C-alpha cells in the first residue's frame, strides 16, 4: 500500500505540491488526472526519488515505511517503479546489458539469487515477446533510435522484469497511436494482480478506456481536488479541466 | 640569455656525449646533429608552443638511472607480467628488454618475406632500407626526438616485402626488468612494402610491479603504396613514470593506417603523432582512450600533414578524468597547397568525474587548398544527472550506474580496436578502472 501524507514539495523555492494526500491500497489501480502544470509529473519523480526536489513537509510510505530517505535504486528494490513519460536514450549502453544489470541489481538487493546468463536471456526474451519488443531492439543502445511506441513498450518490459509491487505510469499514453496504446495497455493489464498496485498519471481519459482504474483523482495546483470512480474520467472528458484550473479558464 | 639547466637536463646532456649505438657515417652525422639540437633546445617547457600544456622542464624532476638488464626474464615471468589475455595472444612476439631487443624471448620466424633486425646489428651492417632512420621524414626534430636518436639503447627494425601478409599480428613487448626506477630510450622502425599488410600490437609492462620508468620511444613507419597497417598501443605506467612516445609515418598511395592508443593512468604520458600523406587517397585513423586518475597527465599531440590528393584523416579520442588528472589534446590538420579533396575529421571528447580534473583541447586547421572538407570538434562534460537518475530508477545503484555511463562514453572508441582479444583485454582493464572511479 502506498500512502502519501500531506506532501509539500518545492523546486528552487517555488512550491509545486501543496499538501497531497493519497492512498493506493494493495491490488488497486488509481488514476491521477489533471491539467498541465498541476504537478502530476513532479509527484511521480518525488515518489521515484529524483534529487531536484525539496520535500518541505509530509511523507511517502510504502507498506508502512517511509521511503523518503531511500535512494532511487533502493526504492526500486523495495518495489516502487516509475515508467517514465520520456524514456532516456543512452547510446553506448546495450539494451540487453542494461536489462541484465538492472535485474541482477534488484535481485541482489532483494536477497534473491542472481540469474545466470542463459536463465536471464530466457526471462527477457519471453517477456519481450509478450510486449512485441523485437530481438533487434535488445541489441541496440538503450532507447536509441526507438520510436515513441517502442520506448514505452521498453518501459513496460522493464516494469515486468523488475517485478514491482507499486507501478507508477507517468503519461504512458503520450506520443502513442491507437495500436501502440493498445499493446502497451495490454502489457500493463497483464501485470495487474491482487499484490500489485498502480498509479496511472494521465492528461487524457483515452488511456483509461484500456487500463480501467478503481479510482480517479483530479489534481490541480499541487493538490488532489476531487476523487471519484472511473466515471469521473468520463466527466472530465466532457467538461475539461476548466473548473479545476484557473489558468486554463 | 644563458640557459638555466635543470638537474635532469644536465644529466641528459651528459648521456648524449656517449651514444649507445654505433652506425654508418650517415647515422653518426644525424646523431651529431641531434645532440646539438638537444643541447640548444633543452627539455621542452611551457613557452614552447607545442609543449605549452606539458612542461617537461618542470615535470621531469630527476633523471632515473639508465635501465640495464643483467638477467633477462624467463618466458614464464614474462607471461605472468603480461596477464592471461596478452600471454595467450596469437601473435609473433618481439620482446625488448629494457629497450633492447632480446632474441631468446622473441619469435625467430615471422615469415619468409619479413626481415627482422635488432637495431644495433642493423646499424652496424648499414642495411640500405634503414636509411630513413632518424631522418624524421625530413621534418625538424623536436628535443625529445633528438634525444632519442642520440641516447637510444636499442630497438628493432622490421621490413615487410611487397605483398607480405603475416599469418598473425606482431606483438611488440617492452618489458622492464629493473627493480628500481630506471630510464631507457628505444626505437622501432618499419619498412612496409607495397600492398603488404600487418597488425602491430605494442604493450609496455614491468616484471616488477610498481616500478617507475622514464621511457623515450620513437616509432618510424615507411608505409608503401596500398599497404595496410593497424597499430594498437597500451600503456599503464605508475604515477611517477614518464612515457614519451613519437610515432611518425609516411603514407604512400592508397595506404590505410590505423593507430589506437589506450592510456591507463600513468605519470606524465605524451604521445606525439606525425603522419605525412605522400601518396594520393591514403587514409589514416588515429584514435584512443585515456582513463586518468590521481595526478596523471596525458598528452596526445598530433599533426596530420596532407600533401597529396584525396586523402582522409579521422581522429576520435575519449578521455575520462578523475582526481586532479590533466589531459591535453592538440590536433592539427595541415592541408598543403594542391592537396585537394582532403577529408579530415577530428573529434576529442572528455568526461570529467572530478571538479579538480582538467582537459585542455587545441584543435588547429591549416588549410592551403580550396576544395577540402575539414572539421573538428571537442567537448568536455560531466556525467549527465538525467541519465544517472534513469539508471538508478531501474534499480542500478549509484556506483554501477556511473560505471555504465563511463563505459558508454568511451565504448565508441574501443569499438575501433579490431583485434577482439586485445579489445576485450582493454575493456577488462577499463571496467576495473570505472569501478574504482
Question: Which of chain A's residues have a Cβ under 8 Å away from the Cβ of B396?
Answer: 73, 101-102, 105
pLDDT for A245: 64
Q: Please tell me the total count of domains within chain A.
A: 1
Question: Which of chain B's residues have a Cβ under 8 Å away from the Cβ of A49?
Answer: 392-393
Answer whether residue B111 shows pLDDT above 70. Answer: yes
Q: How big is the A-B interface in CB pairs under 8 Å?
A: 71
Residue A246 lies in a domain: no
Contact A114/B at CB under 8 A: no
Q: Do A98 and B390 touch (CB under 8 A)?
A: no
pTM comes to: 0.89
Residue A164 lies in a domain: yes
Comparing C-alpha atoms, which of B279, B251, B396 is closest to residue A88?
Answer: B396
What pLDDT digit, counting tens, does each position of A9-29 carry? Answer: 999 999 999 999 999 999 999
Q: Do A162 and B405 touch (CB under 8 A)?
A: no
B389 to chain A: nearest residue by CA?
A50
Smallest Cβ–Cβ distance between A92 and the set B386, B398, B409 belongs to B409
User: What is the average per-residue pLDDT within B190-213?
Assistant: 95
Banded pLDDT at B20 (limits 50, 70, 90):
confident
ipTM of the complex model = 0.95
The strand pairing partners of B361, in sequence order, are B329
Percent of chain A with pLDDT over 70: 98
Comparing C-alpha atoms, which of A244, A171, A213 is closest to residue A233?
Answer: A213
pLDDT for A248: 44
Residue A244 lies in a domain: no
Chain B residues bordering chain A (beta-carbon distance below 8 Å):
385-387, 389-398, 400-401, 404-405, 407-409, 411-412
Contact A102/B at CB under 8 A: yes
* CATH number of domain containing A76: 3.40.50.300
Q: Do B395 and A102 touch (CB under 8 A)?
A: yes
pLDDT for B214: 96
Most confidently modeled range among A136-145, A234-243, B67-76, B360-369: B360-369
Q: From the CA of B291, how many Å to the nearest CA of chain A?
A: 17
In the block, which residue shows the cell 607545442?
Answer: B50
Question: Which of chain B's residues have a Cβ under 8 Å away from the Cβ of A151?
Answer: none
Smallest Cβ–Cβ distance between B386 and the set A49, A88, A141 belongs to A88
Residue A245 lies in a domain: no
- How many residues are there in chain A? 249
DSSP E strand stretches across A39-156: 54-62, 65-66, 80-83, 90-94, 141-142
What pLDDT digit, counting tens, does each position of B279-304 carry? Answer: 999 999 999 999 999 999 999 999 99
Name the region of B187 (left: φ>0; alpha: ψ -120 to 50; beta: rest): beta
Range of the domain at A30: 2-239
Percent of chain B with pLDDT over 90: 86
Cβ contacts of B33 within 8 Å, gap of 6 or more: none
User: What is the average per-residue pLDDT within B188-195?
Assistant: 97
Residue A248 lies in a domain: no
What pLDDT digit, counting tens, does each position of A198-226 carry? Answer: 999 998 888 999 999 999 999 999 999 99
Residue A173 lies in a domain: yes
Amino acid at each position: 500500500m502506498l500512502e502519501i501524507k500531506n506532501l509539500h514539495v518545492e523546486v528552487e523555492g517555488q512550491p509545486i505540491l501543496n499538501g497531497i494526500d493519497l492512498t493506493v491500497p494493495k491490488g488497486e489501480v488509481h488514476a491521477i488526472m489533471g491539467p498541465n502544470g498541476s504537478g502530476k509529473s513532479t509527484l511521480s519523480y518525488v515518489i521515484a526519488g529524483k534529487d531536484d526536489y525539496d520535500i518541505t513537509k509530509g511523507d511517502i510510505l510504502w507498506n508502512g515505511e517511509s521511503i523518503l530517505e531511500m535512494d532511487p535504486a533502493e526504492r526500486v528494490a523495495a518495489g516502487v517503479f516509475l515508467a517514465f513519460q520520456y524514456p532516456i536514450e543512452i547510446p553506448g549502453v546495450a539494451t540487453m546489458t542494461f536489462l541484465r544489470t538492472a535485474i541482477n541489481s534488484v535481485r541482489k538487493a532483494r536477497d534473491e539469487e542472481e540469474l545466470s546468463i542463459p536463465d536471464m536471456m530466457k526471462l527477457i526474451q519471453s517477456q519481450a515477446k509478450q510486449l512485441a519488443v523485437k530481438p533487434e531492439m535488445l541489441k541496440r543502445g538503450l532507447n536509441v533510435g526507438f520510436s515513441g511506441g517502442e520506448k514505452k513498450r521498453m518501459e513496460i518490459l522493464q516494469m515486468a522484469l523488475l517485478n514491482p509491487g507499486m507501478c507508477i505510469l507517468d503519461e504512458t499514453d503520450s506520443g502513442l497511436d491507437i495500436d501502440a496504446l493498445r499493446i502497451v495497455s495490454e502489457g500493463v493489464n497483464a501485470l495487474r494482480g491482487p499484490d500489485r498496485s498502480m498509479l496511472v498519471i494521465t492528461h487524457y481519459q483515452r488511456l483509461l478506456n484500456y487500463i480501467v482504474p478503481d479510482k480517479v483523482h483530479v489534481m490541480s495546483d499541487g493538490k488532489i481536488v476531487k476523487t471519484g470512480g472511473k466515471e469521473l474520467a468520463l466527466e472530465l472528458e466532457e467538461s475539461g479541466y476548466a473548473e479545476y484550473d484557473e489558468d486554463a479558464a | 640569455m644563458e640557459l638555466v639547466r635543470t638537474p635532469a637536463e644536465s644529466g641528459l646532456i651528459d648521456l648524449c656525449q656517449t651514444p649507445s649505438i654505433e652506425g654508418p657515417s650517415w647515422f653518426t652525422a644525424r646523431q651529431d646533429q641531434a645532440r646539438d639540437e638537444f643541447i640548444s633546445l633543452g627539455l621542452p617547457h611551457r613557452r614552447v608552443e607545442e609543449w605549452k600544456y606539458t612542461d617537461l622542464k618542470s615535470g621531469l624532476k630527476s633523471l632515473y638511472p639508465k635501465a640495464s638488464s643483467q638477467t633477462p626474464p624467463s618466458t614464464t615471468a614474462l607471461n605472468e607480467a603480461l596477464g592471461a589475455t596478452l600471454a595467450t595472444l596469437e601473435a609473433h612476439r618481439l620482446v625488448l628488454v629494457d629497450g633492447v631487443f632480446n632474441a631468446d624471448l622473441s619469435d625467430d620466424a615471422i615469415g619468409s618475406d619479413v626481415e627482422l633486425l635488432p637495431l644495433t646489428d642493423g646499424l652496424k651492417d648499414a642495411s640500405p632500407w634503414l636509411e630513413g632512420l632518424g631522418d624524421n621524414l625530413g621534418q625538424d626534430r623536436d628535443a625529445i626526438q633528438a634525444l632519442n636518436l642520440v641516447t637510444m639503447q636499442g630497438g628493432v627494425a622490421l621490413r615487410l616485402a611487397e605483398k607480405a601478409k603475416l599469418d598473425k599480428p606482431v606483438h611488440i613487448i617492452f618489458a622492464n626488468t629493473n627493480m628500481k626506477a630506471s630510464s631507457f630510450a628505444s626505437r622501432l622502425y618499419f619498412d612496409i612494402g607495397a600492398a603488404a599488410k600487418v597488425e602491430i600490437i605494442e604493450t609496455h609492462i614491468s616484471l616488477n610491479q610498481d616500478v617507475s620508468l622514464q621511457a623515450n620511444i620513437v616509432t618510424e613507419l615507411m608505409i608503401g603504396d596500398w599497404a595496410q597497417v593497424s597499430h594498437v598501443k597500451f600503456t599503464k605506467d605508475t604515477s611517477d613514470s614518464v612515457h614519451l612516445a613519437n610515432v611518425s609515418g609516411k603514407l604512400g598511395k592508397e595506404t590505410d593506417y590505423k593507430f589506437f592508443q589506450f592510456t591507463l593512468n600513468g605519470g606524465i604520458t605524451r604521445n606525439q603523432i606525425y603522419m605525412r600523406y605522400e601518396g594520393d587517397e591514403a587514409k589514416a585513423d588515429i584514435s584512443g582512450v585515456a582513463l586518468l586518475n590521481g595526478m596523471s597527465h596525458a598528452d596526445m599531440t598530433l599533426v596530420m600533414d596532407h600533401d597529396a590528393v584525396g586523402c582522409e584523416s579521422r581522429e576520435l579520442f575519449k578521455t575520462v578524468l578523475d582526481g586532479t588528472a590533466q589531459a591535453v589534446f592538440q590536433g592539427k590538420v595541415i592541408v598543403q597547397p594542391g592537396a585537394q579533396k582532403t577529408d579530415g575529421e577530428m573529434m576529442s571528447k572528455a568526461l570529467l568525474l572530478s571538479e579538480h580534473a582538467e582537459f585542455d583541447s587545441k584543435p588547429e586547421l591549416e588549410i592551403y587548398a580550396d576544395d577540402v572538407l575539414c572539421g573538428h570538434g571537442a567537448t568536455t562534460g560531466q556525467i549527465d544527472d538525467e541519465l544517472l537518475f534513469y539508471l538508478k530508477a531501474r534499480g542500478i545503484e549509484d556506483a554501477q550506474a556511473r560505471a555504465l555511463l563511463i563505459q558508454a562514453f568511451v565504448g565508441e572508441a574501443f569499438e575501433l580496436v579490431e583485434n577482439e582479444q586485445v579489445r576485450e583485454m582493454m575493456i577488462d582493464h577499463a571496467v576495473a578502472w570505472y569501478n574504482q572511479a
